[in-house]
A and B are shown apart, each in its own frame.
Chain A
Amino acid sequence: MQHHLINSPTSRRDFLQRAGLGCGSLAVTSLLHQEGVIAAPTPTNPLAERPSHFNPKAKAVIWLFQTGSPSQVDTFDYKPELGKRDGTDLAGADPKTGFFTTSGKCLKSPFKFSQHGESGAWTAEIFPNISKHADDIAFVYSCYSQSNNHTPAMLEFNSGMIRQGFPSMGSWLTYGLGSENANLPAYVVMHGTKPRGGDPIWSSGFLPSVYQATSLDPRGAKPIENLERPAELTGQQQRSLLDVLNAANAKHAERRPFDRDLNARLESFELAFRMQTSAPEAFDLAQEPQHIQDMYGLNRDESKDYGRQCLLARRMVERGVRFVQIFAACPNTPGGAVSDVPWDGHSDINGNHRACAATVDQPTAALLTDLKQRGMLDDTIVIYGGEFGRTSDSQGSAGRDHNPNAFTTWFAGGGFKGGTQYGASDEFGYKSVENRVNAHDIHATILHLMGIDHTKLTYRFNGRDFRLTDVEGEILREILA
């Protein structure tokens, strides 16, 4: 470990003196540990659990990323005016809004909308199950992003930056809070086909690589690498190897009392040995009763992959995993999309969104129901949304192109106020106009609920103190409980 938190005493004192320049209080806490002012938990373990800035509302995050970008006006942002003007010129349309060129003509939603719950939120007919949770959900209708291109926009939503190389929110949270479960990774990403842009989307950037996500494809046989012993070794034989190894390492460390990493490495072998048992247990869905598996849609072809992602997310959060991000695995992606961006309905919104909704609606609702019935929803944040929205005018006759200017993201649990609606797009859902919200605002809000002041969680890299929220970020207080 050589990041700046562990530097020379002189420099650390300097650093404390200059703390006003943007040094985070977390970092200060850590420095005080280092100085011996506060007893350090385990200075050698970078993943040791660390105190938050203030009392958190939430302990964990499950982010259901709808890769490829669902259309706001065909899901949760009801725009009757668009239906009335179907086929007519969309006032103020910029045909260059998206990746291709759009028609400039209004395209009405092919779906029926209706109101749900006491809050009366409008939802499209393709979400019969999510609709039942209308009063658990806080809808934000006024999101926007910088790029009209999938990969940069996904980077922005994960790291706040449209270019590669910056840490994702999950990494920042792991850096800030450590890991609650020593036997499992703190930050897990699950995907089907990897989303466009791949691993850099959930990169730990310039943060130490211990804070990087463990990414896995739950459709595969081995969700985590190297969990199985070599066939030549029984558990007892490996234990015996480990005992002799530990003795040798302990003797080596004893002669080098100043080299602290040596002890950390000793511990890491023990943890590895334990993970061989604990990790497979967390991934073993056979332990779930049939009715739970069915509730998540594991018995239906359309929803079984995404359902498995959602159910695994719940099991991991139960076991102390702090941040789970799911990139929706959709087996069918008609209507102009491909499997790394399933919601990308360029040519046929109706066909595409029906297929994708058939995948995600039941498991998403099941996750909310399940978290609630276990009392976990109160301290688990659920985020649902894509990297941008889609155009209100048509691409071709029945599709929609990318639209970074307006889209909907919704939140549930973990300190969000259910049954609220925030921000607004214009009457065609083309541009966000009221209480506009960007990735920095969402990041600031999530960090806040996790007990972290987003302006104070910083990391020094190449001479600059970086933040997840750069120099921006407004907490969305109006939708917090």
Chain B
Amino acid sequence: MRRLTLLIVLLVGSAVAVAEGAGVEGAEPNRKGLDFFEAKIRPMLVTHCYECHSAGAVGKKNLKGGLLLDSRDASRTGGESGSAVVPGKPDESLLISALKQESFKMPPKGKLPDELIAHFVKWIEMGAPDPRDGVTVAASSEIDLEAGRKHWAFQPLAQPPPPEVKDSGWARTPVDQFVRARQEAAEVTPNAIADASTLIRRAYFDLIGLPPQPEDVESFVSEVEKDPDGAYGRLIDELLNSEHYGERWARHWLDVTRFAESNGYAFDGDRPNAWHYRDFVIRALNSDMPYDQFVRLQIAGDLLTNLDVQTTDEAQAAVNTIAATGLLVAGTYTTQQTQKERERSRYEQLDDIVSTLGTSLLGLTVGCSRCHSHKFDPLSQFDYYRMASCFAEVGFADTGINMQPEAFRDAKNAYDAALAPLAAARTKFEQEQFSGRFDQWIASRTEESATSPASAKLEAWHHVGPFAAGNFDAAFDQVFPPELDTELSQSFEDGKLKWTEQPEWKDGEAHNDKLTGTNGANYLFRVVEGEQPQVMSLSLGSDDGIKLWVNGREVLSKKVGRDVAAADQETVVIQLAAGRNELLMKIVNSGGATGFYFAASAAATPADVTAILALPVDKRDEPQKQKLVDWYKGYDLDWLRLNQLVARQETQNPKPDLTNVFAARVRGTTYQFGDDTFKVYHLRRGNADNKEDEAAPGFLQVLMRTDQLEMQWLADPEAADKTRPGRIGLADWLTDVDRGGGHLLARVIVNRLWHHHFGRGIVATPSDFGTRGEKPSHPDLLDWLASELIRGGWKLKPIHKLIMTSAVYMQAGDVTESGRQHDPENLLLWRRNSRRLEAEIIRDSLLAVSGTLDRTMFGKGTLDQSSTRRSMYFTVKRSELIPILQLFDAPDTMQAIATREESTVAPQALALLNSPIIRDLATKFAVQVRPNAETSIEQAIDRAYQVALSRPATDAERAAMTEFIQRQKESRAADADAESLAVRDFCHLILCMNEFVYID
């Protein structure tokens, strides 16, 4: 009976809806309505309804009540019980009564909060705007989120206490308790602490990527004897405070974020201001910026930056925060595009961003759900496009920041102060004198025939120049003294440049042999005496650029390049007043010959002015009156003099000292393909030709632990019905430990630290924490470290110290019998593995030991391979990667790299043996260890071992190397330099040694 009643109600309801709803439905749903749907309604439907009411449910034979809620038409048609959504009629929409639990009790897991139901009511009142045409998007229904959340990485952080261990003597920190407990269970005995010289070498390379000086080793060794624990702790603090720490660890982060400074692809255009991102990372690490803040800035720094900076400090901070978004725009970008490729390329660009963020921050292969929902992890294609949608408006740009705002403000104030009286004088003149003079001009205006040549006397040219500048543009733009004051008695540049009269420079002839100067400017000045106000036409020529002022007013400015000056290259009509008129011409040359052309002829008053003059006075409208006044100004020499003072002062308007930063910008540069350029759609099979609905910002549902979904991060706390930019919401969600992705974010970064300290992460796949990645070898330790990170305010340096002061880090590399037997792979960390240095560190070490390392930090990089700065300051140009770094497995920067390959191949050996660069460094190294013949060979050998290997040579080594040097010397018996060449061979040998590049 109940069912029948409902049916009747619904039938009536539908009829009414059709009758009344036409207005609602017929109109295109407006933007606001669709936004509301995307923000409030779709996520609810997806999470609470699709499981039983979508195409996905059909596929899983889970469809309930024959009702589909995953398309507009289906929800209006309804299921077995009738229409679920009646636009404009919440009371008649079965969906609402079901949510209110008045008809059905939906969702079955429990009633939604009233405010969420209110959203549905409001939506239906709005006419139920719904963009979901036709086939529905494969939403999260195909992913079992509840099951997905059971994967270890998606679980909240466990809060395990460090386990008790039997062997309490070994453990130095809670980290060791976790490690030792597993070793004890496996009956594996770890190593004791390594000796002091090994420890200092290990710590130096790990934290700053440079070898310790022999003196550092010596003093550390002696301090350890006095105070073993204290000395080591101080060493770690000292290294963490070294500014080289940021350089060393920034390089690790730049691998993960595929940092480069060029576009890639065929033309590989440079991004000359992209290095700011590299410097941001170094500074952030050196200042121990909390990691959550570090992440937030990289996702949304441009949105959080106030560009209207007031102080130098604010300017530096703005450079930093905006540069942080270099992460988003570091991917490849092709400048050569055919029309057809642009939209596809845009989705590639968005994929680069989403994939990079997914792997680098969350250790999730989000990019795998671009064409279909992830095959292995609970990441839906629906979530993928919602994540991409957060970046829908992201393009790139060079943003200029005023680096000296105080100085600029002072200069600007001084300028304004100087300008004000001049401008005031002109205004006063206009107010007091103008109307009378104007009337007088009108009254006395003889009908000067437009065609009859009026009387004007062109006097001889005066010339001064050339004034030199750094380049053509500067020569054109720079205001040289003659522009500020045309007093002809002046001289310039200590009297080298003087005004000289040039009576021979006739009008109507091209003068291509009179002027000189490269990247320079020549000025020509002349007086024109006019008997009456008149217009004059000028034919001008210039090689190259030209500017012309008449009575201090600029009437022509043309920055061009030309082979020769000739007539009619430019024509301009000027006004001459009665009396003394001044013409100033600037000719700017880039190189080679330079010259000018000038000829005057009579001209007509412009037609638009004549037309206004012809009107009766009371018929002239305001713009016409103003135009006439402006025209008159050209005839009033008194006004022109006052105006000239203003104009000259205006040339002194100070320009801010801008630093350009390559970073993300809302609606910045990207592939353009019309209206959809800054929109993201759900794409079937990832194909831009198969668009479905427009995607709204959203995040990974598997990493949301409350029913409110993304609105809790996207809602604007200050305006209930507004949302914040998707990127801000994304950053908040990512760093939200309790409800969002923060716990995974913390796990991933502490694992990266562990990975770089041990050569292998607790999770051996640092960018894949999904079900296909490795499981953590010490899950409790990972969670404990992640919790420590969060507890310590997301600061990384304390985590470094915690790890490095643990016995597991400090232990020696010996092989123990129990270890060999039970854990040959050393998964339980019972010994320290030897590790090869990375490409940059190998090169930096070569520079350091040869005494040539330039420690200058920050700033623009270089492609010059002979640079002696640290390798991370090489410009990363995708098509010109530095060969020696490539050889030792530096990344190719096309995609994010979590774990560098470590190849061992012959070309590396060839480079070390034969490259002139290496031989040259060996030569310099030899000079370091044996500056003169007074240093004995034995001393040189000892010094070389200490500098390069941080230890003295053993007796056997000293003997073998002495013999080697002797043999190499004898083989060059005829050569006067035999001995120093032999020492050079020895130093070359040291640089090739395994011990030089493998750190214990």
* Distance of A269 Cα from B916 Cα, bound (Å): 17
Write the chain A residue with the least CB distance to B266.
A151
A269 contacts B913, C-beta separation under 8 Å: yes
Query: At the interface with chain A, which of B29-37, B223-231, B786-794, B897-905?
Result: B897-905
Segment of B335-343, B424-432, B799-807, B846-854 in the binding face: B335-343
C-alpha gap A127/B859 in the complex (Å): 56
A26 to chain B, nearest CB (A): 18
Interface membership of B985, Cβ < 8 A? yes
CB < 8 Å: which of A18, A152, A237 contacts B971? A237
Q: A226–B907 contact, CB under 8 A?
A: yes
Chain A, residue nearest B367 (CB) = A462
- Residues 164-219 of A contacting B (Cβ, < 8 Å): 164-165, 196-200, 203, 205-206, 208-210, 214
Residue A132 at the chain B interface, CB threshold 8 Å: no
Cβ of A1 and Cβ of B901 under 8 Å apart?
yes
- The CA-CA distance from A393 to B94 in the complex, in Å, is 60
A332-391 contacts to B, CB under 8 A, are none
Given A148-B340, A241-B989, also A2-B998 (CB < 8 A): no
Contact check, A240 vs B964: say whether CB atoms are below 8 A apart. yes
Q: Which of B266, B341, B985, B992 contacts A233 (CB 8 A)?
A: B985
For residue B903, which residues in chain A have a CB less than 8 angstroms away from its CB?
1, 46, 208-210
CB distance from B456 to the nearest CB of A (A): 54
Q: Let me know if B834 and A256 touch, CB within 8 A.
A: yes
Give A265 Cβ to nearest chain B Cβ, in Å.
5
Give the residue of B338, B836, B902 whose beta carbon is less than 8 angstroms from that of A149: B338
Q: Across the interface, which residues of B come within 8 angstroms of A10, CB to CB?
A: 775, 827
On whether A200 and B879 interact (CB within 8 A), knowing A462-B768, A462-B898, the answer reads yes
- Verify B338–A463 contact, CB threshold 8 A: no
B992 with A245: CB separation less than 8 A: yes
CA distance A334 to B834 in the complex (A): 58
Q: A20 in the interface, Cβ–Cβ < 8 Å?
A: no
Q: Across the interface, do A236 and B914 meet the contact criterion of CB distance under 8 Å? A: no
Residues on the A chain within 8 Å of B825, using CB: 8-9
Contact of A165 with B265 in the complex, beta carbons under 8 Å: no
Collect the chain B residues with CB atoms within 8 Å of residue A234's CB.
971
Any A CB within 8 A of the CB of B935: no
Q: Would you call B905 and A47 a contact (CB within 8 A)?
A: yes
Instruction: Name the contact of A200 in the complex, choosing from B827, B883, B894 (C-beta under 8 A).
Output: B894
Count residues on chain B whose CB falls below 8 Å from chain A CBs: 87
Judged by a CB distance under 8 angstroms, whether B872 is at the interface is no
Q: How far is the CA of A8 from the CA of B831 in the complex (A)?
A: 16
Contact, CB under 8 Å: A210 / B905: yes
Q: Could you tell me if B989 and A230 are in contact, using CB atoms closer than 8 angstroms?
A: no
Q: Do residues B919 and A230 form an inter-chain contact, with CB atoms below 8 A? A: yes
User: Taking the nearest CB of chain A, how far is it from the CB of B826, in angstroms?
Assistant: 7
- Whether B902 lies near A261 (C-beta < 8 A) is yes
Question: Smallest CB-CB separation from A197: which chain B residue?
Answer: B266
Verify if B993 is at the interface (C-beta below 8 Å from A). Answer: yes
Q: Are B894 and A205 in contact (CB under 8 A)?
A: yes
Tell me the bound Cα distance from A99 to B197 in angstroms: 63
**B47-63 vs A, Cβ < 8 Å mask (1 yes, 0 no):** 00000000000000000
B642 partner residues in chain A, CB cutoff 8 A:
none
Q: Give bound CA distance, A209 to B888, whole Å.
A: 9
| Complex contact A272–B994 (CB within 8 A) | no
A11-B774, A462-B365 known; A152-B341 Cβ under 8 A: yes
Neighbouring B residues of A93 by C-beta, 8 Å: none
- Taking CB atoms, residues of chain A closer than 8 Å to B334 are 151-152
Is B290 an interface position by the 8 A CB rule? no
Smallest CB gap from A165: residue in B: B894
For A275, the chain B residues whose CB sits under 8 A away are 906, 910
Evaluate whether A3 and B368 lie within 8 angstroms (CB atoms) in the complex, with A151-B266, A272-B906 already known: no
B803 to chain A, nearest CB (A): 20
Check A265/B904 contact, CB under 8 A, given A149-B337, A464-B368: yes
- Once the chains are docked, how many angstroms separate the CA of A259 from the CA of B824? 11
Q: What separation, in Å, do the CA atoms of A269 and B332 have in the docked complex?
A: 36
Interface status of B909 (Cβ within 8 A of chain A): yes
Tell whether A164 pairs with B265 under 8 Å between CB atoms, given A1-B903, A232-B984. Answer: yes
Contact with A2, one of B338, B348, B901, B910 (Cβ below 8 angstroms):
B901
B367 contact set on A, CB distance < 8 A: 462
Which residue in B774, B777, B981 is a CB contact (below 8 Å) of A232?
Answer: B981
Query: Judging by beta carbons under 8 Å apart, are A232 and B919 in contact?
Result: yes
Residues of B within 8 A of A225 (CB): 883, 907, 910-911, 915
Q: Decide yes or no whether A319 CB sits under 8 A from chain B.
A: no
The reply to whether the CB of B764 lies closer than 8 angstroms to some CB of chain A is yes
Chain A's closest residue to B896 (CB) is A462
Question: B264 near A164 (CB under 8 angstroms)?
Answer: yes
With an 8 A cutoff between CB atoms, is B268 at the interface? Answer: yes
Residues of A within 8 A of B971 (CB): 234, 236-237, 240
Q: How far is the CB of B188 from chain A (nearest CB, A)?
A: 14
Cα–Cα, bound, A432→B909 (Å): 49
- Most B Cβ at <10 Å: residue of A9, A99, A258: A258
Residue contact A262 to B994, C-beta cutoff 8 Å: yes
**Bound: A394/B179 CA distance, A:** 72
Q: A201 — nearest CB in chain B belongs to which residue?
A: B266
> Judging by beta carbons under 8 Å apart, are B916 and A463 in contact?
no
Bound complex: CA of A8 vs CA of B826, how far in Å?
9
Interface centre among A21, A209, A234 (most CB of B within 10 A): A209
A259:B332 contact, CB within 8 angstroms: no
B908 touching A238 by the CB < 8 A rule? no
Once A165-B895, A210-B903, A261-B904 are accepted as A-B contacts, the answer to whether A241 and B773 lie under 8 Å apart by CB is no
A257 at the interface (CB under 8 A from B): yes
- When chains A and B are docked, how far (Å) is the Cα of A164 from the Cα of B352? 11
Which chain B residues border A84 with CB–CB below 8 Å? none
- Across the interface, name the chain A residue whose C-beta is closest to B883: A225
Query: In the complex, what residues of A have CB within 8 A of residue B811's CB?
Result: none
**Which of A61-69, A247-255, A446-454 is found at the contact surface with chain B?**
A247-255
Interchain residue pairs with CB less than 8 A apart (28): A1-B902, A2-B900, A8-B825, A149-B341, A152-B334, A163-B332, A198-B266, A200-B878, A203-B894, A205-B894, A209-B889, A210-B903, A214-B907, A225-B911, A225-B915, A229-B913, A230-B916, A232-B984, A240-B964, A244-B960, A248-B957, A248-B960, A252-B995, A257-B815, A261-B998, A272-B907, A462-B367, A463-B772
List the 10 shortest-distance A-B pairs measured between CB atoms, nearest first.
A165-B894, A272-B909, A463-B768, A463-B365, A151-B266, A208-B901, A271-B906, A226-B910, A264-B904, A226-B914
